[in-house]
Structures are given as C-alpha cells and as structure tokens.
C-alpha cells in the first residue's frame, strides 16, 4: 500500500438495452457475473461487481436497460435503474457507438438532468466504427449534459477500459474497502446460477419466449462424501406454447440448455455438477406482484 489514501465508491452503469453494460462489467471483473445476450432487457436485477486494487475498490451496479415499461416487470426494472442513480458516487452513461443517438438516449438524458452525481459518457463498441464517426458522436453528445468525462471504449476488445478505470478512481472519494479483496460480487451463488441458466434459454430461443422466462433454483446441495453438487431448477414460462418451445422436440432444446448451463455452473462452483431442469407454466407472471416476489424481484430491497 502506498501513502495515498484508499478510495472506494459505488458506480452505476446506465444505458439503453444492449449497449454492452454486462460485457463491460464482466471484462472489468475478469469473470462472468452478468449474463450477456443480444436480446433487450437481459439484465433484470442490479448486479453488483466488485473490482479491487491496492489503491481502490470500485463497486459497479449494472442496471436494467432503461426503457418505457410495458408491464409490472418493466415497471420494476425501470424503478431499479433510476433508484440507483440516487445511491451512487458516479454514473456511467453508456451508449452504443454503432447505433448513435436515438430516442432511447433522449429518454435517459431527461432522467439524468436532475441527477447531482457526476456522469461519465462512455461510448462503447468503438472497434466497430470509423474514427471520424467517433468524433461526430462526441460533438453531438458533449453539450447535451455536463459530462465529467467522455471516454470511448470497446468492452469486448478491452480498448481503453484501463483508462476509464483510472478516471473513475481519480473521481471517487476516500473510503473503506467494503468487500474482501477476492470477492467479485455481492450476489449469492444461487442468483448467478439462475442467471446462467436463463442466459442459455435466451441464446437458444427467439421472438416472445426470452422475455417470458424466469428461472427459480429449487435446490443447490453438495452430495455427502462426493465432489458433486446437485442443482435443481425450474424454468418458468407464461404459456403452454412457450413450454413446448423451451423443451424442444424430444426434449432436445432443454437438453442443450442443460449441457451449456452445466459447463458454466461447474466453472462458477469449481466442482462437478449434476443439473436437473423442469419447465413450468405460470400464466402472465410478469404482471403479478406475487409471482415477481416469488421469482426474486423484491421491490422493497431497492
């Protein structure tokens, strides 16, 4: 440790769906704690990622992509995203360089105008555009809000991510190390396991199915005297037709979900995993407060 005072703080990552927030978080933390998919609304809960060095501890909150809600789950996600802005030391407003300015960004900027917290504009996916376009984007955005910094990055390739971390550290207040140095998230393993399974369903299905699923972990238990962990989980859908899609012909899709999930869960838990999956229909669960609570969306936690 040097003589410089230790710094720490909470950083909210905010932006339209699919701008690369989870990719950035996983890149910084160095392992998978946030699920990635090209489907909007992949992130539903706040995911806390903890990045610790000898000089600082940065605690990232990856919020659900800000969008106009269409159901109770959407309301919950929006409330979660906007509430974090009041609790943090710094806000990273991330945009997708490829897509440029859109109505979704306008909506977010309106939300950010009342925020007193310093805001960085993070332009992601710069590896996919010409440098001239990057300069145009910076010109377009710089007067929309009083940004503390504008930092172009590629979360996927890692370009400029270290510079962004340095800028964040400079701005953070002196503070304690909130978490042990080897802890990378405050989410229990049960939550991350459910998210890894949900990610595989997102990757393997399309149209209305991805938004209509929740994953509930029924059991995680180590077998007596064996290095095997039993994981039992239920994939919840809203309609019988979706159940058929998730199971697949002769159980083929569910088997593939299980195979891919088991690989990631074994990496996470560091042990051999026996995974059992079921699929259950819970009609219109996204609009029922009791179902949202049962599936881990607890409003009173935020």
Predicted pLDDT at 65? 55
The answer to whether residue 178 is domain-embedded is no
pLDDT band, residue 212 (cuts 50/70/90):
confident
The answer to whether residue 220 is domain-embedded is yes
Q: Is the pLDDT of residue 104 over 50?
A: yes
Residue scoring higher pLDDT (34 or 1)? 34
Residue scoring higher pLDDT (157 or 32)? 157
State the CATH number of the domain containing residue 100. 3.40.50.300
The answer to whether residue 203 is domain-embedded is yes
32 and 163 both lie in a single domain:
yes
131 and 205 both lie in a single domain:
no
The domain of 75 spans 7-171
Which of 171, 199, 218 is the C-terminal boundary of a domain? 171
**What integer best gives the mean pLDDT of the chain?**
81
72 and 221 both lie in a single domain:
no
Average pLDDT for 164-181:
91
Predicted pLDDT at 182? 76
Which of 171, 204, 236 is the C-terminal boundary of a domain? 171
Query: Using CB atoms within 10 A of its CB, is residue 240 exposed (0-12), middle (13-18) or buried (19+)?
Result: exposed
32 and 149 both lie in a single domain:
yes
Q: Phi and psi dihedrals of 54, rounded to 5? A: -70, -20
Predicted pLDDT at 43? 43
pLDDT band, residue 40 (cuts 50/70/90):
very low
Please state, as a whole number, how many other Cβ atoms lie within 10 Å of the Cβ of residue 30.
10
Residue scoring higher pLDDT (188 or 99)? 99
Which of 126, 141, 171 is the C-terminal boundary of a domain? 171
Predicted pLDDT at 178? 84
The answer to whether residue 137 is domain-embedded is yes
19 and 156 both lie in a single domain:
yes
Q: Residue 269's closest CA among 187, 192, 186?
A: 192
217 and 246 both lie in a single domain:
yes
Mark the binding-site residues, compressed into ranges: 15-22, 62-66, 124-127
State the CATH number of the domain containing residue 236. 3.30.300.20
Q: Residue 296's closest CA among 234, 247, 249, 241?
A: 234
Domain count, the chain: 2
The answer to whether residue 86 is domain-embedded is yes
104 and 23 both lie in a single domain:
yes
The answer to whether residue 69 is domain-embedded is yes
The answer to whether residue 263 is domain-embedded is yes
197 and 265 both lie in a single domain:
yes
Average pLDDT for 209-232:
79
120 and 34 both lie in a single domain:
yes
Predicted pLDDT at 74? 60
Q: Whole-model pTM?
A: 0.60
pLDDT tens profile 248-299: 999 999 999 999 999 888 877 777 889 999 999 888 776 666 555 655 555 4
The answer to whether residue 181 is domain-embedded is no
Mark the binding-site residues for GTP, compressed into ranges: 15-22, 62-66, 124-127
Residue with tokens 């607890």: 298
Q: What is the spatial distance between Cα 160 and Cα 124, in angstroms, rounded to a whole number?
A: 10
Average pLDDT for 15-34:
80
148 and 227 both lie in a single domain:
no
**Which spans in 158-251 are helix H?**
161-171, 189-204, 240-247
HSE-up of residue 73 (Cα within 13 Å, Cβ side):
21
165 and 26 both lie in a single domain:
yes
pLDDT band, residue 127 (cuts 50/70/90):
very high
Average pLDDT for 72-96:
74
15 and 67 both lie in a single domain:
yes
């Amino acid at each position: 440790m040097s003589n410089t005072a230790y710094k720490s703080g909470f950083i909210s990552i905010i932006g339209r769906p699919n701008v690369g927030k989870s990719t950035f978080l996983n890149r910084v933390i160095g392992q998978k704690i946030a699920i990635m998919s090209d489907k909007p609304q992949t992130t539903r809960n706040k995911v806390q990622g903890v990045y610790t060095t000898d000089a600082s501890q940065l605690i990232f909150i990856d919020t659900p992509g800000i969008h106009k809600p269409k159901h109770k789950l959407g309301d919950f996600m929006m409330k979660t995203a906007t509430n974090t802005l009041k609790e943090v030391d710094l806000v990273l407003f991330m945009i997708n360089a490829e897509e440029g300015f859109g109505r979704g960004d306008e909506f977010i900027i309106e939300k950010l105008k009342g925020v007193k917290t310093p805001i960085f504009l993070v332009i992601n996916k710069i590896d996919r555009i010409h440098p001239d376009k990057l300069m145009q984007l910076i010109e377009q955005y710089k007067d929309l809000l009083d940004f503390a910094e504008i930092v172009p990055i590629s979360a996927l390739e890692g370009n400029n991510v270290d510079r962004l971390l340095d800028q964040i550290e400079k701005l953070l207040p002196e503070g304690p190390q909130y978490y042990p140095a080897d802890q990378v998230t405050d989410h229990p393993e049960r939550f991350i396991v459910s998210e890894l399974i949900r990610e595989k369903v997102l990757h393997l299905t399309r149209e209305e199915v991805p938004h209509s699923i929740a994953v509930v972990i029924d059991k995680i238990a180590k077998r007596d005297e064996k290095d095997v962990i039993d994981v039992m989980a239920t994939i919840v859908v809203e309609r019988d037709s979706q159940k058929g899609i998730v199971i697949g012909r002769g159980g083929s899709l569910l088997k593939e979900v299980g195979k891919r999930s088991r690989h990631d869960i074994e990496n996470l838990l560091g042990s051999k995993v026996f995974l059992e999956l079921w699929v259950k229909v819970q009609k219109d669960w996204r609009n029922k407060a009791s179902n949202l609570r049962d599936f881990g969306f607890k409003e009173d936690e935020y």
